[in-house]
Structure 1
Amino acid sequence: MKKTAWIFFVIGILYASYLLLLLSIPYLEISRGVDFLKTKQLIYHIKHWRYSFYIHVFSSILIIISGLFQFSKTILNKYTRIHRISGFVYLVTTLLISGPAALVMSFYANGGYPAQTSFVLLSILWLGSTFLGYYYLRKKEYEKHGKWMVRSYALTLSAVSLRLYSYLFNVFQLTLNPVDLYILLSWASWIPNLLVAEILIKRGLVNCILSNH
C-alpha cells in the first residue's frame, strides 16, 4: 500500500513539475508583458525584484525534482550517490539561489501586507528548515536531518499547491474578489502542506525511510 501511494505521489509531482515547466517557458522571453508579470508593471523596473523573479521561476523545477529523490528508501539504501548528488543540488539551490530570491519577491507580493506576510513567513521557514536539514546532516543526526528535510520539501511544494488551489477555486467558482482570493491562496499554499508533513513525521514516515541508513 505504501509503495503504491509513493508511486502515485511521484507521478503527481513529476506531472506538476511538467506543468510548472510549461508555465515557465513563456518567461524565457524576458518581457514585462508575459502572464503573471502583467500584474507587476509598477515594480518590474526594480532590478532586484526582477532578477529574483526569474531566478525563482527557473530554479523551482530543479528543486522540486531533486527534492523528490530524497524520500525514496530504495534510492537512499541502494543508490546513495544519487541521493547525495540530488541532496546537494537541492540544498545549494534552495539555500543560495531560489530561497533568497523567494524572500526578496515576498516583500512585493500581490495582495498587500496579508499576502506579503504569508510569503515572508513561508520563505523564512523554507530557508530555515532546509538549513536545519543540512545542519543535522553535518552532525550525522540522520533522523533529525530527515524530519527537517520533510518539512523543507513540504514548503517547496507550496509552488504546486498554490496553483492547484487556484485551479480548484476557478473550477468551483469561489466568489471572492481577486485580492481576497490571492490572500487566501497565499496562506493555503503552505500551511496545509506543513501540517501534513508534521502528521507524516509523527506517524514515523521518516524513521521508516531512514531505518537502514
Structure 2
Amino acid sequence: MSVTGKVLRYLALVWILILSLGTFYLYGNFKTDEGFLLLKQLAIKTGLYLPAFYAHIFGSSLILLIGFAQFSKRVYSNKKLHRFLGRCYVFGVLLFSAPGAYVMTFFIHRGTGVFISFLLQNTLWVLSTITAWRFAVNGQIAKHACMMRRSYALAFAAVTLRLYIYLFTVFGNGVNFQYNYLIIAFLSWVPNLLLVELINYYDKGKVPTIAVKA
C-alpha cells in the first residue's frame, strides 16, 4: 500500500472511531431528550422511531469497525476469523442497521430528494451485502471482495454524512440552507461508490484468493 493509501486508511479509522465511540458515549445512556433525539420528539412518540434509531446507530457503529478490520491482510488471511466477522457484518446489516435505517428514513422530513437518496442508499447497501455474501458462499472470492467494497462504501456513508454536515456547518450555511441537505445526502454515498469502482477496476486480479466461504 502506498503512503497516500496508508494515510487515507488511518484517517478513515480515526473518523470511524470518533463516530462509533461517540455514538456509544452520547446514546449509551438511552436518554431520549439529548443530542439528535431532541429533534425527533414527535417521531419518538410514534413508538417506531426509537427502536429503529438504536438498532441503526449501535449496529452501524459495530459494522463500521468490523468492516474496516475485514480489509486487513491479517484478518482476511485468518480464514476462521474472517468468516466469523463477515457473518457478524452481514447479519448486523440485514437484521439491525439497514432495517433501522429504513424506518428512520420515513421520519427525515427533508424533502423528497433527501428521502429518495437515503432510501436508494440503504437499498443498495442491502443488495450489495446480500450479493457479497452469496459470492462468498459460492466461492467466487474475487467478486465477493469487489462487492464487499461496495457494501462498505455505503456503510461508510454514515461517516462521510457527518463529515459533510460538519464542513457545511463550519464553512457554509449549515444543513438548513436551501438544497444543502439534499447535496449532502447524495454526497455522502455517491462519491464513495465511485471511488470503490475505481479501486475495483485497478485492483483486478489483486483481490485475495483464499477460500473464505461463508
Hey, what does 2:155 align to over in structure 1? Answer: 156
Q: 1:51 to 1:178 in 2, by over 3 A?
A: farther
Hey, what does 1:44 align to over in structure 2? Answer: 44
Q: TM-score, normalised by structure 2?
A: 0.89
Q: CA deviation at 1:133?
A: 0.3
Contact 2:15–2:159 (8 Å) recurs in 1: yes
1:29-88 deviation per Cα after TM superposition (whole angstroms, max 9, x unaligned): 3233211112212211122221000111111121011111222234323x2222122111
Residues matched between the structures, number: 210
Q: Deviation above 4 Å: which 4+ runs of structure 1?
A: none
1:146-181 deviation per Cα after TM superposition (whole angstroms, max 9, x unaligned): 111010000000000001111211232247744632
Q: 1:112 to 1:24 in 2, by over 3 A?
A: farther
Q: 2: distance between equivalents of 1:190 and 1:175? A: 19
Q: 1:52 to 1:175 in 2, by over 3 A?
A: closer
Q: 1: distance between equivalents of 2:181 and 2:119? A: 15
Q: 2: distance between equivalents of 1:132 and 1:58? A: 24
Unaligned runs of 5+ residues in structure 2 are none
Residue type of the alignment partner of 1:96: L
SS of alignment partner, residue 41 of structure 1: helix
Q: 2: distance between equivalents of 1:151 and 1:191? A: 11
1:100 aligns with 2:133: no
Hey, what does 2:56 align to over in structure 1? Answer: 56
Contact 1:10–1:68 (8 Å) recurs in 2: no
What percentage of residue pairs aligned between the two structures are identical?
Answer: 33
Q: CA deviation at 1:203?
A: 1.0
Q: CA deviation at 1:141?
A: 0.9
Please, which moves more after superposition, 178-187 or 5-14? 5-14
Q: 1:40 to 1:5 in 2, by over 3 A?
A: same
Please, which moves more after superposition, 36-45 or 58-67? 36-45
Q: 2: distance between equivalents of 1:161 and 1:18? A: 13
Residue type of the alignment partner of 1:158: A
SS of alignment partner, residue 207 of structure 2: helix
Hey, what does 1:145 align to over in structure 2? Answer: 144
Q: 1:162 to 1:82 in 2, by over 3 A?
A: same
User: How large is the RMSD of aligned CA atoms in angstroms?
Assistant: 2.0
Q: 1:109 to 1:28 in 2, by over 3 A?
A: same
Q: 1:169 to 1:135 in 2, by over 3 A?
A: same
